[in-house]
Amino acid sequence: MSLNDPNSTPSSSVFLSTAALPARDRLPVWREVFGQTMVRLDIEPAKGTSFHAEGELCALPGAAFASVTVSPVRVSRTQRLISDDMADMVFIVTADAPLHIAQRGREQVLAAGDAIFLRGSERSVIQCRDKARFTNISVPIDDLTPLLPNREDVSMTVVSRQNGALDLLVGYVGLLQARQKPCPDELGRIAAAHIRDLMAAVIGAEPDCESPYDERGGVRAARLRAIKADIGAHLCEPGLCIDTIAARHGISPRYVRKLFQGEQTTFSDFVLFLRLERSRRLLRSPQHATCTIASVAHACGFGDLSYFNRTFRRRYAITPSDLRNGIQESRA
């Protein structure tokens, strides 16, 4: 598995850690397996530190990404490692600690959370003086370039952590990593296309769009996933509304409605579905057997008990009390 030639790799994922290795073997094994074979990087720990690293690497047909937690380290892309690559790649790198980056005779110091684009065919050096979690995302340059304004070279382009598209990109990759199994190849290609769309959006490929409706499919998909996660995190708040969600994501309520319309549903119906499903789980749970129906309804964000009873019965064909008493739903 190589993160530097994802087009030749079916969807796959691997987790690596030095934790089970003797201290003397951690660096040589990590350099050989992770550095030389997978990401084509030379790795050196900071002086006076003991080396430890662990992370997950994922490859899709057309994109690849890795999230790695590592002790203070210096990683470099040498001419020898570049010459061994099968494909010219574009990388975006971010970490939760400051980074010092050098490529093409230029240097940048990144604050924690900022990101930078690097060209895979150019020598580069990344240094971090603190333990850090890195996220590294790559795509073939020939796949990304057509999406860029004027087909520009983005090498050493710095992206602020305040960039909304960067947040969507990292969040989307996190959702892919949370899957328990690799994507089927066709879904992997779709996910890779979404990643490319998001990378293009991060560097401002569409700064003149008249409305968010013109955003590429990958950006829309990532926005919708982020909005759904936000709804889930605030589901129990009776005041949860489309205006609040839209404001948190920097888009209009109308655009939020448009995103849900693309899935043949509405914002309100999605919220109601999640709240009803949560209430059903609580009513079935022995840990909540002493809770009243009203308290369960309130805990799931329902402010009106009669509305809760009515919508619950409409969806499951039984009342909340029936479910609490062990009567099975005729449909779900």
| pLDDT of 263 | 86
| pLDDT of 64 | 93
Q: Is residue 157 part of a domain?
A: yes
Output the domain CATH number for residue 66. Answer: 2.60.120.10
Tell me the CA end-to-end span of the chain in Å, nearest whole number. 42
Output the domain CATH number for residue 304. Answer: 1.10.10.60
Q: Is residue 238 part of a domain?
A: no
Q: Is residue 147 part of a domain?
A: yes
Q: Is residue 296 part of a domain?
A: yes
- For 130-167, the DSSP string reads S-EEEEEEEEEHHHHGGGSGGG---TT-EE-TT-HHHH
* 202, 231, 246 - which closes a domain: 202
| pLDDT of 207 | 38
Q: Spell out, as residue ranges, where the chain has pLDDT lower than 50.
A: 1, 8, 205-213, 332
179 and 42: one domain?
A: yes
pLDDT by residue (tens digit) across 73-121?
Answer: 999 998 888 887 767 899 999 999 999 999 988 999 999 999 999 999 8
Q: Which of 10, 119, 125 is nearest to 63 (CA)?
A: 10
17 and 149: one domain?
A: yes
- The vertex-206 CA angle with 215 and 243, nearest 5°, equals 45
Counted domains in the chain: 2
168 and 289: one domain?
A: no
Residue type, 161: R
| pLDDT of 5 | 54
| pLDDT of 113 | 95
Q: Please list the residues that pair with 77 across neighbouring strands.
A: 124
* 202, 228, 243 - which closes a domain: 202
| pLDDT of 13 | 83
* 150, 176, 202 - which closes a domain: 202
117 and 41: one domain?
A: yes
Contact 4, 59 (CB under 8 A): no
Q: Is residue 257 part of a domain?
A: no
Q: How far apart are CA 14 and CA 37, in angstroms?
A: 13
Instruction: Name the helix (H) or strand (E) containing 99.
Output: strand 99-103
- Which range of residues forms the domain containing residue 289? 269-324
pLDDT by residue (tens digit) across 146-155?
Answer: 887 666 678 8
Q: Is residue 223 part of a domain?
A: no
156 and 280: one domain?
A: no
65 and 164: one domain?
A: yes
> Which of helix, strand or coil describes residue 102?
strand
Q: How far apart are CA 154 and CA 238, in angstroms?
A: 45
Q: How far apart are CA 192 and CA 196, in angstroms?
A: 6
pTM: 0.68
Q: Cα-flanking dihedrals φ and ψ of residue 212, to 5°?
A: -60, -15
Q: Is residue 226 part of a domain?
A: no
Q: Is residue 232 part of a domain?
A: no
Structure tokens belonging to residue 96: 């939760």
Q: Which of 187, 178, 224 is nearest to 65 (CA)?
A: 178
Contact 328, 292 (CB under 8 A): no
> Angle, to 10 degrees, between the axis of helix 217-233 and the axis of helix 253-261?
100
145 and 273: one domain?
A: no
